[in-house]
Amino acid sequence: MRIVQTIAILATVLLVALGGRYLLMGGGDGGSGMSNGASAAIGGPFTLTDGSGQTVTEADFQGQYMLVYFGYTFCPDVCPTSLSISAQAMSLLPDDKAAKITPVFISVDPARDTPEIVGEYVKHFHPRMVGLTGTEEQVKAAARAYKIFYQKVEEKGGDPEAYVMDHSAVTYLMGPDGSFVTHFSHGIPPQDMADRLADIL
């Protein structure tokens, strides 16, 4: 039941974020038709904290492509899968192209995801992956900028600390100027992601 609800919610969020016209045309076409309209609204300023406790903003990524994914470290499967796919896709790229990309993981669960926890978590996926978290307000603002939906889901009668977070599972490619370039759907084969990245970079 929860999965069905989640898919329905995510589908709605994606429609809002990316524009129904594009989705009806079919996703995964490399980004044609994404150069104007709704896509311009994805991304923007954020202020968060990295694994070493340093404040990080969008300005710190100027001149680099960012592969941005929002999730949480307690996520049982969706987040690890998405982050692994990004890391695999980067390893499939020639080194000079991979070097242009900084993979970024932003927690939507700041209550549990301290900077230290997020910093340790991202090391499991890619040596250059940056893990970010922040205050509830900072995370909310970043998610809003990137049109990411997230919501705490507590199990009735369960351990209140064992909640899960429903969240969008889209990976964004942001350009060196911080603007939206394209998105990758959850579960894309790493080679497909690498091929599309190689065309863009």
Start-to-end C-alpha separation, the chain: 40
CB of 75 to Ni ion, least distance (A): 3
Longest dimension (CA), the chain: 52
CB of 141 to Ni ion, least distance (A): 20
- What does the block give as tokens for 129? 């992956």
Residue choice 42, 78, 130, 132 for contact with Ni ion (CB under 5 A) = 78
Q: Rounded distance, CA 99 to CA 121, Å?
A: 21
Residue nearest to Ni ion (CB): 75
Q: What x/- string results for residues 33 through 72 when contact with Ni ion is judged by CB under 5 A?
A: --------------------------------------x-
102: Cβ–Cβ under 8 A, 6 or more apart, which residues?
Answer: 61, 64, 65, 66, 67, 128, 129, 130
CB of 118 to Ni ion, least distance (A): 13
Q: Rounded distance, CA 189 to CA 33, Å?
A: 22
CB of 9 to Ni ion, least distance (A): 14
Does 83 bind Ni ion (CB under 5 A)? Our answer is: no
Nearer to Ni ion, 78 or 93 (CB): 78
Nearer to Ni ion, 19 or 167 (CB): 167
Q: What x/- string results for residues 118 through 137 when contact with Ni ion is judged by CB under 5 A?
A: --------------------
CB of 21 to Ni ion, least distance (A): 28
Residue choice 66, 67, 75, 173 for contact with Ni ion (CB under 5 A) = 75
Chain positions contacting Ni ion, by CB under 5 A: 71, 75, 78-79
